Amino acid sequence: MLERKVRFYRVLGRTTTIHNTNAAGLIYAPLGRDAQIAAGLLAEAGIRAEIVPDLVDFVAKLGEDIAFVVITEETLRSADLRPISEWVERQPSWSDLPFVVLTARGAGPERNPQAARLSEILGNVSFVERPFHATTFVSVVGSALRGRRRQYEARQRIIELDEGERRLQTALEAGRLGAWELDLDTDILTTSAACRAIFGRGNADILLFDEMVGAVHPEDLTRLTLALNETRETGADLAVDYRVIWSDRTVHWIEMRAQRYRDKAGRATKIVGVSADITARLEAEQQQRQLNELLEQRVEERTRALEQAHAIVLDEVSQRERAEEQLRQSQKMEAIGQLTGGVAHDFNNLLMAVLGNLELLRKRFADDEKATRLVDGAMQGAKRGASLTQRLLAFSRRQDLKVGAVDLGQLVAGIEDMLKRSVGSTVTVITSVPEHLPPVWADANQVELALLNLAVNARDAMSEGGTIRVELKTAEVASSDNGLSPGSYVVLSVADNGSGMDKATLEKATEPFFSTKELGKGTGLGLSMIHGLALQLKGRLKLDSVVGIGTTAELWIPVSDVLPTAAATEDLVPTSRADLKQPIRILFVDDDALIAMSSTDMLLDLGHDVVEVHSGEEALQQLQDDATFDLLITDYSMPGMNGGELATAARQTISNLPILIASGYADLPPGVSLDVARLGKPYSQDQLASAIGKVMANIR
């Protein structure tokens, strides 16, 4: 029977489902099955409620998070209601917990004074006479729940108002603002403690409106009175500064801001405002004005002195401005260089993996003509990328230079025919090379490339033809000037009579990827590469240009008095792949998994036994566990322990271990032994085999 009732009530309750809420109800009906039936109907309607077994537990669970109470009238009739009544009395002002009282048939509040008296005790009571219809019961509880939700909304608004008031009070205190309110009907002034302090009163003192006005300085009283009256009569915002005199006769400046407020009927009722003591601020402003006047006076005196010495010092100002501009440009280019070098190094690593894998694929599919053609195309593109990274490394001064004593006269003579072929028949190339030029410290191949780039740039600036003059001369620098150290230099200049560049273009000319050529007709790396080369050679690239007249580029290179000694990065013994007859055991180290994989595959294809690790720490552990390696090949730039640090530590474990460092940068790490060889990235399988052959041949 009970199950049939519950099912019947659930069917009826489906059309009256109420959305769930975080707050739940309490059901206290310990006699019979009322509690189970009520809970079942409410659950079907989506309303959460908890059944409590006894009165003690019921009273203990009463709280602000209870949404409603369902209770039977006969239970309350025999119970001590004082705990419930006391709780009801203690409710916050926003709370009025709804009670749904289930009465017996014929025992409703209209015919049962005892039941009606519950309204006096419980307050917010709704009666449901049993037996009740499921829809009626759920509807009554739903109404109670909606009312409770409105109470929760009121509580939230109260909390928000309290929080807003606290924030306002905090803001006022932080800003040292005193709040006040003037009742327009009674002229009663209400002030905060901070406001009273502004007028020289203590926390416990009372400040009347007449007293506040009476403290105003006589010279400012009329102005304040007029401002207050205008706000009172017209509603205009009050904004006035005035002086007050404290009881100790000290004078203080007050800043007052206020607005007029109306009630719901539109009647002006009060003026609410804030005041601040601005004495210290005004004194500081006065001191600042006096200081400014003094500074202006001194500036005028200094200006007159400068005007009198004009002929002696503007030149100095110009020099300083030029030096500052050169310093800013140098710092800018240094920052760009560091960024460019890092990008080029990472790109080099990617090309290393691409070229290595393509080379192995070409060998694997040597008999497949189509596959070979596709691989060759990919390799050409990768090699062009490698060339691009070399230009970026040149700009960032990290390219690998083969420096030595170079005769620039012979170099220009040897490349003259190539220059003429490169610039075409519409351009005339004139060279001027004096005899007995001193040798310079440079990389001949890179200087030739720089000269060719300068000539091509000059040709492009002369669309209708013209003349390119290539000249060599010596120059002396007595003191540090524009980045050049004192000493002797040979200057290679390339001048044209083309379109020239304006000042803004000239300032950007050596920046990477900057080009005045059409899209697709230049990389924008030519001048930046030459700029980087010059700095790497401890020289300088100077550009001078005039629009409509032409451009002159000068490459300053230091003179070499002594031939250089053999460097650590030079090949130790000339050899070839054929010199290495037997396979060797190699420990290969690179933190980049792609490079490690492709390089290991190339070494395995050469027939060597290879152990691959990805950090200096792993490599040292491998050497400690197994000392049978014939060669260590390691990357230089690795996190934690770089290749130089690994080489030093490896030699402490195996003193005679041959080491080959692979790097895309020009310089070896400081402190690396002279017998450590180096291989530039990206490298091919033949270059890798050749480097291994040279290292192993040197130790035999």
Q: Give, in order, the Cα–Cα distances in Å from 260 to each of 205, 228, 693.
A: 26, 10, 95
Average pLDDT score over residue span 8-29:
55
> Which of residues 528 and 342 earns the better pLDDT score?
528
Average pLDDT score over residue span 370-377:
69
Residue 73 is predicted with a pLDDT of 83
Distance CA 531, CA 391 (A): 11
pLDDT at 675 over 70: no
pLDDT in tens, 195-226: 888 888 888 888 888 888 898 999 999 999 99
**One CATH from 3.30.450.20, 3.40.47.10, 3.40.50.1370, 1.10.10.10 for 175-277:** 3.30.450.20
Residue 608 is predicted with a pLDDT of 93
Q: Give the model's confidence band at 6: pLDDT under 50 very low, under 70 low, under 90 confident, else very high.
A: very low
Poorest-pLDDT segment among 161-165, 240-244, 345-349, 368-372: 345-349
**Beta pairing partners, 482:** none
Q: Give the model's confidence band at 472: pLDDT under 50 very low, under 70 low, under 90 confident, else very high.
A: very high
Distance CA 174, CA 694 (A): 76
Are 495 and 546 within 8 A, CB to CB?
no
Q: Give, in order, the Cα–Cα distances in Å from 267 to each of 8, 186, 227.
A: 60, 14, 20
**One CATH from 3.40.50.2300, 3.40.50.10490, 3.20.180.10, 3.40.50.300 for 2-157:** 3.40.50.2300
pLDDT at 142 over 80: yes
> Which of residues 12 and 292 earns the better pLDDT score?
292
Are 602 and 577 within 8 A, CB to CB?
no
Per-residue b/e over 342-371, b at no fewer than 16 CB within 10 Å? eebbebbbbbbbbbbbbbbbbeeeeeeeee
pLDDT in tens, 319-331: 666 656 655 655 5
Are 655 and 570 within 8 A, CB to CB?
no
- Per DSSP, the residues of 77-95 read HTS--HHHHHHHHHS-TT-
Average pLDDT over the chain reads 79
Average pLDDT score over residue span 26-51:
90
Cβ atoms within 10 Å, residue 439: 19
Helix (H, G, I), strand (E, B) or coil at 663: strand
Burial class (CB in 10 A: 0-12, 13-18, 19+), 675: middle
Burial class (CB in 10 A: 0-12, 13-18, 19+), 389: buried
pLDDT at 465 over 90: no
Residue 1 is predicted with a pLDDT of 28
Cβ atoms within 10 Å, residue 497: 17
**Residue 69 belongs to what H/E stretch?**
strand 66-72
**Residue 515 has what DSSP assignment?**
-
pLDDT at 353 over 90: no
Domain residue extents for the chain:
2-157, 175-277, 315-395, 404-558, 577-698
Residue 390 is predicted with a pLDDT of 61
Sequence length of the chain is 700
pLDDT in tens, 555-581: 888 998 755 343 333 333 333 444 456
238 contacts: CB under 8 Å, gap ≥ 6: 227, 228, 230, 231, 256, 257, 258, 259, 271, 273
Residue 50 is predicted with a pLDDT of 92
Residue 8 is predicted with a pLDDT of 33
Q: Which two tokens stand for residue 305?
A: 């002195």
Residue 566 is predicted with a pLDDT of 39
Q: E strands within 414-564? A: 427-432, 440-442, 466-477, 487-496, 540-546, 550-558
Poorest-pLDDT segment among 246-255, 274-283, 318-327, 651-660: 318-327
Residue 194 is predicted with a pLDDT of 84
Average pLDDT score over residue span 381-385:
65
pLDDT at 384 over 70: no
Per-residue b/e over 549-574, b at no fewer than 16 CB within 10 Å? ebbbbbbbbbbbeeeeeeeebeeeee
- Helix 310-364 with 279-308: angle, nearest 10 deg: 100
State residue 168 phi and psi, 5-degree precision.
-60, -45
Residue 354 is predicted with a pLDDT of 75
pLDDT in tens, 47-75: 999 999 988 899 899 988 899 999 988 88
Top-confidence range, 308-312, 359-363, 498-502, 616-620: 616-620
Q: Give the model's confidence band at 117: pLDDT under 50 very low, under 70 low, under 90 confident, else very high.
A: confident
Average pLDDT score over residue span 474-483:
78
Average pLDDT score over residue span 498-504:
84
Decide whether 2-157 matches 175-277 in CATH topology.
Answer: no
Residue 360 is predicted with a pLDDT of 73
Distance CA 676, CA 570 (A): 10
Are 273 and 256 within 8 A, CB to CB?
yes
Residue 2 is predicted with a pLDDT of 32
pLDDT at 632 over 90: yes
Dihedral angle sign, alpha carbons of residues 140, 146, 152, 157: negative
Largest CA distance in the chain: 134
Poorest-pLDDT segment among 24-38, 206-220, 278-292, 339-353: 339-353
For tokens 């917990």, the residue is 97
Residue 486: cis peptide before it, omega within 30 degrees of 0: no
For tokens 């690790």, the residue is 613
pLDDT in tens, 264-279: 888 999 999 888 888 8
Residue 581 is predicted with a pLDDT of 62
Query: What percentage of the chain has pLDDT greater than the value 70?
Result: 75
Reported pTM = 0.40
- Between the two ends of the chain, the Cα-to-Cα distance in Å is 105
pLDDT in tens, 393-434: 554 444 556 778 888 888 888 888 878 887 888 888 888 889
pLDDT in tens, 613-631: 999 999 999 999 888 899 9
Is the domain spanning 404-558 CATH 3.30.1240.10? The answer is no
**Angle 217-223-228 from CA coordinates, rounded to 5°:** 105
Radius of gyration of the chain (CA): 47
CATH topology of domain 577-698: Rossmann fold (3.40.50)
Are 445 and 406 within 8 A, CB to CB?
no
